[in-house]
Amino acid sequence: MNRGLLQASGLLLLLAGGLLAADAPTAAELNRRGAEFLQQGDPARALDQFRAAAKLLPGDPSIQFNVGLALFRLGRHRDALKPLGASLDHAPSAKQARYLRGVIYFSLGEFASCALEIEGLKADAGNAEHVLYMLVESYRNAGEQRRSREAFIELSSRFPESAFLNRLMGVAYDWQGDSTKALEEFRQALRKNPRMPEMAFAIGYIHFKQRHYDEARTWFARELALDPCYAKASYYLAEIEFSQERWDEAAARFRKAISCDPAYGDPYLGMGKALEQRGDLKQALAMYREGVRLKPRDRRAHYALAVALRRDGRHKESEAEFNIARKLIDEESKRIPLLGNPQN
């Protein structure tokens, strides 16, 4: 989710727009306290203050921006979209609000919406490099290859030493199956920006695919050092633990991934496997069902549920899930192979 790339704290709108201390001193004070909490690294307490201010002045765009920013800092990205949108007509917050909304849409995989938000921000000095990177990926994922190439050319022209260029090249090499070049590009990105999100994970993921588990473990741990709640790193660490038959350790990692990202389907399937190994078929079935709910087009999810149902003696339900899995396999076999990101 592009964590650590943002420097949003520079825009805290304390007294702007319709927020006039003479008319509503209580709201002004609440807003000021919220700004102080946010600057101290306490977004939860900041949010309480901003929301209290918003109750007094619900139409004030500066307060709405601060509510959205606090929610963003708490990782509640989708919740942040509405208050950030409410500040778009207010000049002091408009650019930063659009940028944050773009980042949120990008992290959610809603690439067309991301491009719409940030296309007009390419000239913004503070965020242009990241904006151009997101446009390259958003247009590519939306199938607009010409616009993706144009954004890539502009990124490479304006920011020739950008770590984002190494990141993009690393992903391209990984798609092509050239893991050596991919690893070098990802490492170069980290040399330029040691805190670039998802790069340590990308290196670890390549080692994971090669079954170099000791190396993968090191890189996943490095990603978690930057973001302790990066769910994919916890999930793949859990898969390593499971492959080495450390069931309790695997279950703890799967549980951590679920708590960090409840909408991420794979950890539920992993947790189901771990619970089966511990003899808890009932809870395993609950995990598999949730995995199927979150990933209805994933044949692995339906297959895992089908096998567990058969073990539980529910043969009719099991056969229905097997049929869905077979249908999905048939559909996959008829597709023309397309270049794509193996992590998506």
What's the CATH code of the domain at 271? 1.25.40.10
Question: 333 falls in which pLDDT band (50, 70, 90)?
Answer: confident
- Among 327, 326, 306, 333, smallest CA distance to 318 is for 306
Q: Which domain holds residue 285?
A: 251-344
Identify the domain boundary among 61, 92, 108. 108
Identify the domain boundary among 62, 89, 108. 108
Question: 125 falls in which pLDDT band (50, 70, 90)?
Answer: confident
Cβ–Cβ < 8 Å for 325, 310:
no
- Among 256, 258, 322, 311, smallest CA distance to 285 is for 311
The SS3 of residue 297 is coil
pLDDT tens per residue across span 179-196: 999 999 999 999 999 999
Residue 156 lies in a domain: no
59: its two tokens: 């139409």
Residue 343 has pLDDT above 60, yes or no: no
| Residues 207, 210, 214: CA angle, nearest 5 degrees | 50
Determine the Cα–Cα distance for residues 75 and 69; give it in Å rounded to an integer: 10
> Phi then psi for 163, rounded to 5 degrees?
-65, -25
Question: 16 falls in which pLDDT band (50, 70, 90)?
Answer: very low
Q: Is 228 exposed, middle or buried (0-12, 13-18, 19+ CB in 10 A)?
A: exposed
Determine the Cα–Cα distance for residues 307 and 276; give it in Å rounded to an integer: 11
Residue 208 lies in a domain: no
Residue 155 lies in a domain: no
- Tell if the pTM clears 0.75, that is, is over it: yes
Number of folded domains in the chain?
Answer: 2
> Phi then psi for 143, rounded to 5 degrees?
80, 10
In which residue are the tokens 């977004």 written? 43
Determine the Cα–Cα distance for residues 54 and 13; give it in Å rounded to an integer: 13
Determine the Cα–Cα distance for residues 25 and 57; give it in Å rounded to an integer: 11
In which residue are the tokens 């109750």 written? 55
In which residue are the tokens 């990926």 written? 137
Identify the domain boundary among 108, 143, 167. 108
Q: Amino acid identity, residue 6?
A: L
Residue 168 lies in a domain: no
- Enumerate residues 6+ apart whose C-beta is below 8 A from 159: 128, 129, 132, 165
Residue 281 lies in a domain: yes
pLDDT tens per residue across span 250-295: 999 999 999 999 999 999 999 999 999 999 999 999 999 999 999 9
Residue 12 lies in a domain: yes
Residue 229 lies in a domain: no
| Backbone φ/ψ region at 154: left (φ over 0), alpha (ψ -120 to 50), beta | alpha
